[in-house]
Amino acid sequence: MKTRFLALTALAVASFAPHMFGQTAAAVDPAARHTQMLTKMLGLTSDQQTKVQDLLTKEGTASASLQSQLKTLRTSLLTAIKTNDVGGINSITQQMAAPQQQEAALRASTAAGIYAVLTADQQAKVNNGVEMLAGMGGGRGPGGPGGFDPGMHRGGRPQ
């Protein structure tokens, strides 16, 4: 159990490493990296690897658009905060809800797709860590990857 927990924790950390160390998408292919980690952890076949990488690549493409929207909204929110524009803050945070919900649904759908590709034995290995399948990780909160802190951006570094 401890080994599985450590493997899943390592997987979560590795999923966010490019964001934490400022690497760009051109420097690291997140879908390929995540597929390699799942292959090592679960022993994916070449057919499974192809399917998993396709799912993760599609997620990455869709997620990039959502992240761009959120980045623009976060910039607007910072301006509203600095000008004490309460109405603007309310409006912007309401606008942020839709792409955040779409991002969560996208990650969950990708995880479901990956889970469906796995054998019963592989599913048993990730049973309690199914959120790791699509790089969702655990322990996210305000200011962490996926959380919001007005002075931070997605990678957790000050803007």
**45-75 pLDDT per residue, tens:** 999 999 999 999 999 999 999 999 999 999 9
Looking at every residue in the chain, the average pLDDT score rounds to 77
What average pLDDT score do residues 69-86 get?
A: 96
Most confident of 16-25, 29-38, 66-75, 133-142: 66-75
pLDDT of residue 135: 63
pLDDT of residue 134: 62
* pTM confidence score: 0.64
Residue 148 placed within a domain: no
For residue 43, the enclosing domain spans 2-134
114 has pLDDT over 60: yes
Report yes or no: 122 and 132 within 8 Å, Cβ to Cβ.
Answer: no
Of all helices (H) and strands (E), which one includes residue 125? helix 120-126
Q: How many domains does the chain have?
A: 1
CB-based burial of residue 144 (10 Å sphere; 0-12 exposed, 13-18 middle, 19+ buried)? middle
- The residues with which 152 forms a beta bridge, in sequence order, are 158
Residue 144 placed within a domain: no
Residue 104 placed within a domain: yes
Alpha-carbon 45 to chain mean position: 24
